[in-house]
Chains A and B, each alone.
Chain A
């Protein structure tokens, strides 16, 4: 029943609805996905299927300190990938995810505009340049202490 879109009433497209939510919250809270599903006349499972298909949609709430790693050309050449790998294993999350304690989220960006100090990353509001993977644990510890 929920799968049948009524031919008479025109329903708003689920993608448009999800986009509005993302604009408002910066990510897709579960309750909002459920609300969009209802408005679009589809099931929550289907709505989540759509939401998770597009990389554009953020499925989890960003951490208190969002970490953005540059994967632009300059940073890539200077070892940006190594940074990302280390962050993945230190945090136990993939890009697009948030640590269970809500402290960190991880994402990659095409360019941070800090090519002169590549490889670069941003933690919260702080920019870090010429970072080596070995420095990662120390940097993370700083924010963990701050809580």
Chain B
């Protein structure tokens, strides 16, 4: 690991040099990361540890290549391009060396592919097949570990871990949460929170970004598909579902082929096909989290305008991202009071389903099972928080990620891509374009601004779009003038940016701060379908977000306060935004958490 590690993105003013790959002449920027250059030129080089966009660390040794004049094989991910380099990516020697590396990895890997969540989607399994490793060279496993199943969000099985450190690097270099590291040495090495404390009690926010990049079945979402089957098979249960915005522009990546839809176009809205799929499984009704996103806007904007008028606890922090909420509770306890008291959309819909809806259909709420389909692992944790329920009953019973939805459908042999679309159920299924954009970073702020504009000025904004809060930078700011009053907004995605905003005190310059823990927002959430190429920053976010903005564009109603179903729920049940019923059902409180005694010690900044 002594070679220079450079990456293409970090190099300024590069000179182009000539290299030769497998006899083919190629121009490449001097000093660029060789692995990235090879892949971009179409040469396939295997890797289990490299993350596009971060320097290579040479941990897995699968990207070995032969370089003329260099006696030993080199790891491409830690090699910088030099003029005149002659590289062989696929020589017999290279293939033999890679096969040996795979043999060693598989020698200490359990024979559990058949039962593994990642079977069919595992990078180690795919490479073993590609390199014709069909036999185990070493029979006995040397590593023996217990899995960590302590949290409702994540599961870690050290025996399946290839110690590639992708998870550690995403957590420390991308999210800058630093919740985990490699601990111990030799055959006892594993990934762990400090002091080998259970994941559930650690400083982890459950954002799940680490589960997106893990190449094997070692670090995954906590699988809840079995619980869904159990509920569906129980004739006494009344099982209903809700679907988050980001999921509908993602599932096409799994199912679009069956509909002949190209994966490169702006993703089609798959929501009504998911509804059809869930109905085919036996769900009694399927509702839209976009409806409760509209409801969140009503409550949150009301709270914001009240606090803004009184200059109270500004800025308001959005509270719809549970990983962000936990991040504040853990690392910035003094700023917890800034969080909006609103539950997240999944929580609000869960609460309404077990009260308003239960009354409407005359079913005992104790019999209703609410299943959320979310892009998110942190939503599993959120649903388990005692604050998000009443009388010991959770608002949401089971949370499935997009990845689990794909498995659930596969287990049932249903391809929703081939089903006739079915509409969401009424009355908690109608939504506006404002609800749809919740899934993209900046969407909550934009939806809130649209309604805040109306609440303050009595007029709807024209145009409706607030382009200033859209985009891909980790921090975007805009000042919006409503009736002569300036509202200063900041939009952050990714916890690294959030930490900077809070640590620097810069947050104090704003009135409204939206934070999504996942870089890009929920479209690239920790529970979303994994991209083929693992990168520091998801490569699908922009495309998926374009799908959400297209949904917004097409909706006839694009303002939360104009949603007739929302108006009806207020008229029939909630009264007004901020009413005592609304407070009882739709709001909660957050408080500093001391997950472990050390957080207090570590959160003080070193001067």
Contact = CB atoms under 8 A, between A and B. Distances in A.
A69 interface: no
A2 B331 CA distance: 13
A43 B183 contact: no
A27 B166 CA distance: 31
Interface stretch (A30-38, A84-92, A126-134, A138-146): A30-38
B352 to A, nearest CB: 40
A3 B178 contact: yes
Interface stretch (B31-39, B272-280, B584-592, B598-606): B598-606
A3 B598 contact: no
A39 B182 CA distance: 21
Contact of A2 (B176, B184, B598): B176
A64 B169 CA distance: 39
Interface string B495-532: 01001100100000000000000000000000000000
A45 B181 contact: yes
A52 B184 contact: yes
Interface string B196-207: 100000010000
A45 to B, nearest CB: 4
Nearest to A9: B606
A43 B604 CA distance: 12
A67 B464 CA distance: 73
A43 B182 CA distance: 13
B165 to A, nearest CB: 11
Contacts of A1: 176, 496, 499-500, 503
Contacts of B180: 45
Interface string B16-37: 0000000000000000000000
Contacts of A46: 172, 178, 181
Nearest to A31: B601
Contact of B178 (A31, A33, A43, A59): A43
Contact of B181 (A30, A39, A49): A49
A30 B598 contact: yes
B189 to A, nearest CB: 9
Contact of B604 (A31, A38, A45): A38
Could you say which of B184, B195, B196, B598 has the most chain A C-beta atoms within 10 Å of its C-beta? B195
B185 interface: yes
A35 B600 CA distance: 11
Could you say which of A34, A35, A37, A41 has the most chain B C-beta atoms within 10 Å of its C-beta? A34
Contacts of A44: 178, 194, 203, 598, 602
A47 interface: yes
Could you say which of B180, B181, B500, B604 has the most chain A C-beta atoms within 10 Å of its C-beta? B181
Contacts of A37: 602
B97 interface: no
A49 B188 CA distance: 12
Interface in B185-224: 185, 193-196, 203
A44 to B, nearest CB: 5
A48 to B, nearest CB: 4
A38 B176 contact: no
B185 A53 contact: yes
Could you say which of B178, B500, B596 has the most chain A C-beta atoms within 10 Å of its C-beta? B178
Interface in A1-18: 1-3
B122 interface: no
A32 to B, nearest CB: 9
Interface in A35-75: 35, 37-39, 41, 43-49, 52-53, 59
Could you say which of B182, B185, B598 has the most chain A C-beta atoms within 10 Å of its C-beta? B598
B425 interface: no
B173 interface: yes
A38 B606 CA distance: 6
Given A30-B597, A33-B194, A35-B601, A48 B181 contact: yes
A147 to B, nearest CB: 26
B194 A47 contact: yes
B419 to A, nearest CB: 45
B180 to A, nearest CB: 6
Interface in B221-278: none
Given A2-B176, A45-B179, A53 B606 contact: no
A38 to B, nearest CB: 5
B535 to A, nearest CB: 19
A1 B174 CA distance: 10
A34 B598 CA distance: 7
Nearest to A55: B185
A39 B503 CA distance: 18
Nearest to A50: B181
Nearest to A48: B194
Contacts of B196: 52
B503 to A, nearest CB: 7
Nearest to A60: B195
Nearest to B606: A38
A101 to B, nearest CB: 19
Contacts of A43: 172, 178, 181, 602
A69 B602 CA distance: 37
Contacts of B193: 45
B183 A48 contact: yes
A49 B180 CA distance: 9
B468 to A, nearest CB: 27
A52 B189 CA distance: 9
Nearest to A35: B601
Nearest to B503: A1
Nearest to A2: B178
B499 A3 contact: no
Contacts of A35: 601
A49 B496 CA distance: 21
B601 to A, nearest CB: 4
B166 to A, nearest CB: 15
Contacts of A39: 606
Contact of A3 (B176, B183, B194, B604): B176
Interface of A: 1-3, 30-31, 33-35, 37-39, 41, 43-49, 52-53, 59
Give the 4 A-B residue pairs with the shortest CB-CB distance, closest first. A43-B178, A49-B181, A48-B194, A45-B181
10 contacts: A2-B176, A3-B176, A31-B598, A38-B602, A38-B604, A38-B606, A45-B172, A45-B194, A46-B172, A47-B194
Given A44-B194, A49-B183, A52-B196, 5 more contacts: A2-B176, A33-B195, A34-B601, A43-B181, A45-B194
